[in-house]
Amino acid sequence: MLAWLGAIQLGSAPVASTQTPAVRQVSLIVTGGTVITVDPARRVLTSGALAIDGTDIVAIDTPEAIARAYRSPQTIDATGAIVMPGLINTHTHAPMVMYRGLGSDLALMDWLQKYIFPAEAKTVTPAFVRTGTRLAVLEMIQSGTTAYADMYYFEEEIAAVTREAGLRGVLGQTILKFPVPDAKTPQDGLARTEAFIKQFKGDPLVVPAVAPHSLYTLEADTLQACAALARKHGVPILIHLAETRDEVGIAREQHRMSPTMYLDSLKLLGPDVLAAHGVHVSSEDIDVIKQRGVAISHNPESNMKLASGVAPVVKYLAANVTIGIGTDGAASNDDLDMFEAMRQTAFLQKLSTNDPKATPAPVVLEMATRLGARALGLEKITGSLEVGKRADLLIVGTDASRQIPLYDPVAQIVYVTRGDDVKTTIVNGNVLMRDRKVLTLDEAKVKAEARAASAQVRAAVGLP
Amino acid sequence: MLAWLGAIQLGSAPVASTQTPAVRQVSLIVTGGTVITVDPARRVLTSGALAIDGTDIVAIDTPEAIARAYRSPQTIDATGAIVMPGLINTHTHAPMVMYRGLGSDLALMDWLQKYIFPAEAKTVTPAFVRTGTRLAVLEMIQSGTTAYADMYYFEEEIAAVTREAGLRGVLGQTILKFPVPDAKTPQDGLARTEAFIKQFKGDPLVVPAVAPHSLYTLEADTLQACAALARKHGVPILIHLAETRDEVGIAREQHRMSPTMYLDSLKLLGPDVLAAHGVHVSSEDIDVIKQRGVAISHNPESNMKLASGVAPVVKYLAANVTIGIGTDGAASNDDLDMFEAMRQTAFLQKLSTNDPKATPAPVVLEMATRLGARALGLEKITGSLEVGKRADLLIVGTDASRQIPLYDPVAQIVYVTRGDDVKTTIVNGNVLMRDRKVLTLDEAKVKAEARAASAQVRAAVGLP
């Protein structure tokens, strides 16, 4: 079990609902609909119901059994819909929604140098990060993400907004060797990170993390200092790994090793590391990733749009590496819809392995939920619908014309469903969105503030 | 100019709106919003308006200029939205929406033999085809498709529903060498096709076509008879071409030629041919495709999900081959949303060519609109917003959180927009959907009938 889980109180023990004579009062009942649990047995209840008390799932059974054993002041009828675990986005840069669509169709370095770096240098402030994060978490709640991993600047602002919106986050303060908006030096970045960890350690929704950006933007001593800081506090490490051919070239030229072997030589790799991308890896690299217990975040849309390459997802799965799915920042992707990322994961592996049977729908759904939670070190509390876990779940409507007919609910979720189909989003037992109405954010205000702040971005990059 | 266009009366001549002193009465004005014309100059009007009279666009100008020169009993305010040409889906099997999600994640032959063939044998009747097509055209209207190419059985039913819904279609009666639901022999199929052509020739919305299924499902004499029939009546030919490695193997083994060279040896290829997929082609094949004026329908989602391969879109574009985008039937894809197909086209070419600059957003949008119209032989009347063309257009909302900010409207359409963002769909000057309300179909009834008919499919393939 990973260290930072210690801070989070685990849920109450399973309740044998059918043997409880008295009716138990709970805070929320979700009843009716097809329940896709994504538990280890991949149970799907054709007609199911959940009793939720406080933050936790206390029972999963038929609607009749739940009605006999539980009563609640709040019941949500999910008849005709699909009830499923919330999606886990294992790699984002949330405030970068503010740069969505800037300089599409450019090579990576042109894109960064003409658009992203100038925009970040001139716009990233705590207020801008709050505005961007509010827009990002709004989009996440509306498209069914209940937990996410993030790397950016002023991560304490991201954490505050995440908590305010009611989402779950593993949030990493980013460290680079260049001056960045919130730190002039990597030493400043490390100091900010430690303050950030102290501020949020033990939070019920936010897990603070250390986020060394990558091997090509940090010197060895800072990478080692990041690892030491994370281990001192028992928090996760988020890092980019083996994303592009260029990164492999740099590692080979400067260190005569693959990116994976180089980070391993610095003792950075361990079960507390979530590495984003993992595109360019050899069989030996995968062995090391497996041996060290490193988790991988697969970002197929970003990897396609930026022409980074195809991560060997089938090989990671075969090696039993923990692998989740991410969208990457919306500046490169260009959205935060995990349903799109799921479909793309399946499509891309089938194509790249010449095997239409590769990464079938149940496996992809598991990657986007339970395996994603494992990648975040949160599998004990989220990622599936199981008694004792936190109530992090979605009600997905099946009334859109694209949802008809519905023969196979799991295939429908992976191949047909969009974020727009999510009706209700629940995190930690709190209803964040009900029937498309977001309850924890003022949607109109969030959008208006983001539109207003986009004028700063236009000015920064010279758009009219 | 292709022969079947002769039957369709072209639009009125351009009106020099700023020089017209009198105010002209027109049937519809769409005003405000960003107008992406996709005309040959790729004009984008930051604030534009269109005057539509009857079926045709009669003026495109600023809202002020249109207000001075035109008045109409019907005005749609598109302020804040994006106005763009309707999308052209160049390859579908519309009624196969009824098999959506059946047997996902199987190899092609298993999928066909366990699910699709048994389902088709037991369910395909004229009534079933009508029910399925209604669901398909509902989904198309809701996701912004205004014209589509189709190949299926009982195509006259598909044509009747398409006309009733107000969509534009190039609809091909499918011919195979096996007994199929509407024809015991290919000769029966050819006779049905000729009757179908006579029934719909000259229709303002439906262009009848001959649809020999493929080289591996037809003998040479039938392929030649199909070509002769199409040329006798001056109608298009729709065919699958070079979709899979298996097809290439069959062509090489049986004919000692590539699929393209084999069809060319039968004199089937010409400017009246729209070939779906075109995945496995050599440079010589592309030369022949170009020389014969064959158009290609690119179906990236189907090609990925079925692991067929990557069509060389960049090479087709470089050779100036007409290439549009299609979804393929929803049984393999699993939806009819052309916005998804656009994004996938861009993503897949960037990845497969290792070049993030490949197939930039303006090129992909052109493929999904004007080039798609050219592939259907309809470029003179649709595929872009130009005076004299038919009013086939969309109003796309930009109020979803994923649409904020909006720096580059064309990139936003290709990389961010979903069918769900389409608010209003207009075809041939008729408003088919306004503010998400479909006006030409009874949405609830279409969905209920499709759900009811899906019971037949369940029974046919042994689902509970």
CA–CA distance, A420 with A292 (Å, rounded to integer): 38
Largest CA distance in chain A: 69
Going by their DSSP bridges, the two strands B393-396 and B422-427 should be labelled as antiparallel
Going by their DSSP bridges, the two strands A273-277 and A237-241 should be labelled as parallel
**E strand map for B278-360:** 295-298, 323-325
Residues of B in contact with A353 (CB under 8 A): 307
Confidence of residue A427 (pLDDT cuts 50, 70, 90): very high
Closest CA to B25 of B62, B74, B91, B90: B74
Q: Are B193 and B180 contacting, i.e. CB atoms less than 8 angstroms apart?
A: no
B104: nearest CA partner in chain A = A411
Nearest by CB to A335, from B104, B416, B446: name it.
B416
Q: Are A147 and A209 contacting, i.e. CB atoms less than 8 angstroms apart?
A: no
CA–CA distance, B90 with B87 (Å, rounded to integer): 9
Minimum distance, in Å, between the CA of residue A157 and any CA atom of chain B: 20
ipTM of the complex: 0.94
Minimum distance, in Å, between the CA of residue A330 and any CA atom of chain B: 9
Flag whether pLDDT at B150 surpasses 60. Answer: yes
Which CATH number is B9-85+391-438 given?
A: 2.30.40.10
Going by their DSSP bridges, the two strands B75-77 and B28-31 should be labelled as parallel
B99 Cβ neighbours under 8 A, 6+ residues apart: B115, B116, B119, B120, B329, B330, B331, B457
Q: Which helix (H) or strand (E) holds B29?
A: strand B28-31
Flag whether pLDDT at B6 surpasses 60. Answer: no
Confidence of residue B19 (pLDDT cuts 50, 70, 90): low
Record the tokens describing residue B151, joined without a space. 């190949």
Q: What is the pLDDT of residue B332?
A: 82
Flag whether pLDDT at B49 surpasses 50. Answer: yes
Flag whether pLDDT at B13 surpasses 80. Answer: no
Confidence of residue A320 (pLDDT cuts 50, 70, 90): very high
Judging by beta carbons within 10 Å of its beta carbon (0-12, 13-18, 19+), is residue A308 exposed, middle or buried? buried
Cis (ω within 30 of 0) for the bond into A95?
A: no
Percent of chain B having pLDDT more than 90? 91
- Comparing A378-382, A395-399, B107-111, the range with the smallest average pLDDT is B107-111
Confidence of residue A18 (pLDDT cuts 50, 70, 90): low
Confidence of residue B333 (pLDDT cuts 50, 70, 90): confident
A352: nearest CA partner in chain B = B307
Q: What is the pLDDT of residue A13?
A: 44
CA–CA distance, B37 with B366 (Å, rounded to integer): 10
- Is the CA virtual torsion B443, B446, B447, B449 positive or negative? positive
Record the tokens describing residue A234, joined without a space. 């028992």
B436: nearest CA partner in chain A = A400
Flag whether pLDDT at B337 surpasses 80. Answer: yes
Q: Are A45 and A87 contacting, i.e. CB atoms less than 8 angstroms apart?
A: no
B443: nearest CA partner in chain A = A401
Q: What is the pLDDT of residue A103?
A: 87
Mean pLDDT of A28-34: 97
Helix (H, G, I), strand (E, B) or coil at A135: helix
pLDDT in tens, A243-297: 999 999 999 999 999 999 999 999 999 999 999 999 999 999 999 999 999 999 9
Mean pLDDT of B309-330: 97
A448: nearest CA partner in chain B = B404
- In our burial notation (b when 16+ CB lie closer than 10 A, e otherwise), range A53-70 reads bebbbbbbbbbebbbebb
Judging by beta carbons within 10 Å of its beta carbon (0-12, 13-18, 19+), is residue B224 exposed, middle or buried? middle
Flag whether pLDDT at B320 surpasses 80. Answer: yes
Q: Are A85 and A382 contacting, i.e. CB atoms less than 8 angstroms apart?
A: yes
Interface test with A, best of B244, B299, B351 (most A CBs within 10 A): B351
Chain A stretch 70-109, residues whose beta carbon is closer than 8 A to a beta carbon of chain B: 97-98, 100-102, 104-108
Helix (H, G, I), strand (E, B) or coil at B84: strand
Residues of B in contact with A447 (CB under 8 A): 399, 401, 404
Q: What is the pLDDT of residue A21?
A: 64
Interface test with B, best of A102, A104, A416, A451 (most B CBs within 10 A): A104
Q: Which CATH superfamily includes the segment(s) A87-375?
A: Metal-dependent hydrolases (3.20.20.140)
CA–CA distance, A58 with A51 (Å, rounded to integer): 6
Residue with tokens 């039938």: B222
Chain A stretch 289-348, residues whose beta carbon is closer than 8 A to a beta carbon of chain B: 301, 303-307, 309-310, 330, 333-337, 344, 346-348
A147 Cβ neighbours under 8 A, 6+ residues apart: A86, A88, A89, A167, A168, A169, A170, A372, A373, A376, A378, A382, A392, A427
Contact B356 A458 (CB under 8 A): no
A300: nearest CA partner in chain B = B347
pLDDT in tens, B390-448: 999 999 999 999 999 999 999 999 999 999 999 999 999 999 999 999 999 999 999 99
Going by their DSSP bridges, the two strands A145-152 and A168-175 should be labelled as parallel
Residue with tokens 């020099």: B16
List the domain boundaries for chain B.
9-85+391-438, 87-375
Beta bridge partner(s), residue A180: A183
CA–CA distance, B384 with B394 (Å, rounded to integer): 11
Q: Are B52 and B429 contacting, i.e. CB atoms less than 8 angstroms apart?
A: yes
Q: Are B97 and B449 contacting, i.e. CB atoms less than 8 angstroms apart?
A: no
Contact A334 B446 (CB under 8 A): no
Q: Which helix (H) or strand (E) holds A371?
A: helix A370-375
Q: What is the pLDDT of residue A10?
A: 39
Q: Which CATH superfamily includes the segment(s) A3-85+388-438?
A: Urease, subunit C, domain 1 (2.30.40.10)
A297 Cβ neighbours under 8 A, 6+ residues apart: A90, A91, A149, A274, A275, A276, A277, A278, A323, A324, A325, A326, A375
pLDDT in tens, B271-286: 999 999 999 999 999 9
Chain B stretch 368-397, residues whose beta carbon is closer than 8 A to a beta carbon of chain A: none
B155 Cβ neighbours under 8 A, 6+ residues apart: B171, B172, B173, B174, B196, B208, B211
- Comparing A17-31, A155-169, A218-232, A369-383, the range with the smallest average pLDDT is A17-31
**E strand map for B255-313:** 273-277, 295-298
Record the tokens describing residue A460, joined without a space. 């920064």
CA–CA distance, A102 with A334 (Å, rounded to integer): 10
Contact B351 A310 (CB under 8 A): yes
B450 touches chain A (CB under 8 A): yes
pLDDT in tens, A269-283: 999 999 999 999 999
Confidence of residue B112 (pLDDT cuts 50, 70, 90): confident
- pTM score, whole prediction: 0.95
Mean pLDDT of B50-65: 98
Q: What is the pLDDT of residue A448?
A: 98
